[in-house]
């Protein structure tokens, strides 16, 4: 591990949201400094980071100055323009690497990559025109969901098709953006694996968590999940296969559907993940420290679970419940420092310890 960054080194983080905030807190515990690059003023991560650059992703001068001020670059979201990465990559290493970003930025590339590894995904077809959509519906059927191939998260950039008659409206909602039609999966529940890979190629995975979504946004993650021992092993091995194929360094979230036929990959996220927040109070080394360890070239930490946890997102006006939650026993609050609560906006989360493990 000769490439280990020493305490006092600076980790550059692209994006200043709550994930960047929690990465900065984790970095500080290990003695690192963080420098946030974020176009918006007063980002949540800026409240805890050592330095913030407020500039657009097409500001090459600002990007180069940012890169020169840090020892390694990582990110808290996927949709970073290629031109920005070009400017950064010429000066400092980017971890996770650019291939992981490119695969995750495009849903077609992502599904092609996963199927190329022999993994199962939902039936899918690329869609550009309305005729493409009709042809895809003929092949895949309905119900189905149409998604933009790029951007879109927390239910955004998506349209459900309950019957072929919904095609025109769904296609119009994409506003000309390239899209992908995905067939619906008959699944019992969804789980996600938070997995990490170090600079030395070592892999560590957390226990899979069981996810419940409301209105397209993650509501709760429960650990342990309803997986059999063999399903849990399969989920962890599947995640490790993805990390190794990408020569990945850092933490990744791998979302899976549990079906009678086996595990189906929903999507991958090349970053710390909302469904891994439970690790902050369920593990000695949480996903944020694990990511910092990986990108800094440190050995990965022990991700074993010492408690059963239910993580609940606090979305919009849920933040009004904070005084009551603060009175609960075995409830750990994590608030993001956002001034304004809006519908669908993640304001924080709470980890409830339901059982300790002796």
Q: Start-end ranges of CATH 3.40.50.20 in the chain? A: 10-94
pLDDT digits (tens, 9 = 90+) for 21-43: 999 999 999 999 999 999 999 99
Which residue in this structure is represented by tokens 């971890």?
95
Residues in the chain where the model's pLDDT stays below 50:
1
pLDDT of residue 175: 84
Fold of 123-183: Dna Ligase; domain 1 (3.30.1490)
Which residue in this structure is represented by tokens 């059982």?
355
Closest CA to 269 of 96, 84, 146, 22: 96
Residues 33, 52 contacting (CB under 8 angstroms):
no
DSSP-derived 3-state class of residue 26: helix
Question: What pTM was estimated for this model as a whole?
Answer: 0.93
> Quick one: 141 exposed, middle or buried, by C-beta within 10 A (0-12, 13-18, 19+)?
middle
Report the distance separating Cα 43 and Cα 17, nearest Å. Answer: 6
Q: Start-end ranges of CATH 3.30.470.20 in the chain? A: 189-356
pLDDT of residue 219: 97
At a CB cut-off of 8 Å and minimum separation 6, what does 358 contact?
Answer: none
> Quick one: 41 exposed, middle or buried, by C-beta within 10 A (0-12, 13-18, 19+)?
exposed
Report the distance separating Cα 193 and Cα 191, nearest Å. Answer: 7
- The count of C-alpha atoms lying within 13 angstroms of the C-alpha of 1, restricted to the half-sphere facing its C-beta, is 15
Report the distance separating Cα 15 and Cα 44, nearest Å. Answer: 10
At a CB cut-off of 8 Å and minimum separation 6, what does 7 contact?
Answer: 30, 31, 32
Edge-to-edge strand ranges of the sheet holding 158-161: 124-127, 179-183, 144-148, 158-161
Closest CA to 76 of 271, 341, 328: 271
Q: Catalogue the E-assigned strands of 112-201.
A: 124-127, 144-148, 158-161, 179-183, 189-197
Report the distance separating Cα 275 and Cα 242, nearest Å. Answer: 18
Instruction: Please give the structure tokens belonging to residue 180.
Output: 């992908």
Edge-to-edge strand ranges of the sheet holding 51-54: 51-54, 33-38, 10-14, 72-75
Q: Which CATH number fits domain 10-94: 3.40.50.20, 1.10.760.10, 3.40.50.300, 1.10.20.60?
A: 3.40.50.20
Percent of the chain as helix, strand, coil, to the nearest 5: 30, 30, 35
Residues 20, 36 contacting (CB under 8 angstroms):
yes
pLDDT of residue 155: 55
Q: Start-end ranges of CATH 3.30.1490.20 in the chain? A: 123-183
Cβ atoms within 10 Å of 28's Cβ, excluding its own:
15
> Quick one: 74 exposed, middle or buried, by C-beta within 10 A (0-12, 13-18, 19+)?
buried
Q: Span 189-356: which CATH code? A: 3.30.470.20
pLDDT digits (tens, 9 = 90+) for 180-232: 999 999 999 999 999 999 999 999 999 999 999 998 899 999 999 999 999 99
Pairing of strands 144-148, 179-183: antiparallel
């Amino acid at each position: 591990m000769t490439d280990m960054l020493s305490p006092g080194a600076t980790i550059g983080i692209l994006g200043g949201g709550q994930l960047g905030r929690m990465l900065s807190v984790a970095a500080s515990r290990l003695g690192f400094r963080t420098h946030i690059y974020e176009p918006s003023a007063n980002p949540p991560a800026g409240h805890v980071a050592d330095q913030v650059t407020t500039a657009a992703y097409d500001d090459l001068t600002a990007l180069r100055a940012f890169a020169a001020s840090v020892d390694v670059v990582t990110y808290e979201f996927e949709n970073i323009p290629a031109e920005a990465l070009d400017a950064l990559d010429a000066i400092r290493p980017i971890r996770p690497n650019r291939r992981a970003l490119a695969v995750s930025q495009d849903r077609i590339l992502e599904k092609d990559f996963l199927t190329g590894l022999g993994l199962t995904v939902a039936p899918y077809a690329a869609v550009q025109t309305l005729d493409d959509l009709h042809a895809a519906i003929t092949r895949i059927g309905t119900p189905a969901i149409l998604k933009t191939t790029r951007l879109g998260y927390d239910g955004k950039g998506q349209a459900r098709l309950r019957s072929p008659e919904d095609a025109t409206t769904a296609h119009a909602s994409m506003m000309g953006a390239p899209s992908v039609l995905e067939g619906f999966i008959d699944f019992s529940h969804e789980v996600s694996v938070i997995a990490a890979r170090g600079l030395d190629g070592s892999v560590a995975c957390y226990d899979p968590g069981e996810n419940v979504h409301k209105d397209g946004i993650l509501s709760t993650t429960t650990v342990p999940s309803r997986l059999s021992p063999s399903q849990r092993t399969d989920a962890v091995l599947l995640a490790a296969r993805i990390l190794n194929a990408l020569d990945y360094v850092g933490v990744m979230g791998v979302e899976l559907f549990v079906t009678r036929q086996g595990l189906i990959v929903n999507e991958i996220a090349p970053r710390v993940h909302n469904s891994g927040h439970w690790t902050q109070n369920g593990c000695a080394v949480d996903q944020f420290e694990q990511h910092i360890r990986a990108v800094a070239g440190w050995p990965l930490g022990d991700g074993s679970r010492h408690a059963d946890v239910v993580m609940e997102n606090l979305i919009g006006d849920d933040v009004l419940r904070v005084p009551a939650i603060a009175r609960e026993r075995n409830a750990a609050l994590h608030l993001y420092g956002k001034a304004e609560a809006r519908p669908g906006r993640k304001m924080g989360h709470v980890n409830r310890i339901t059982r300790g493990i002796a």
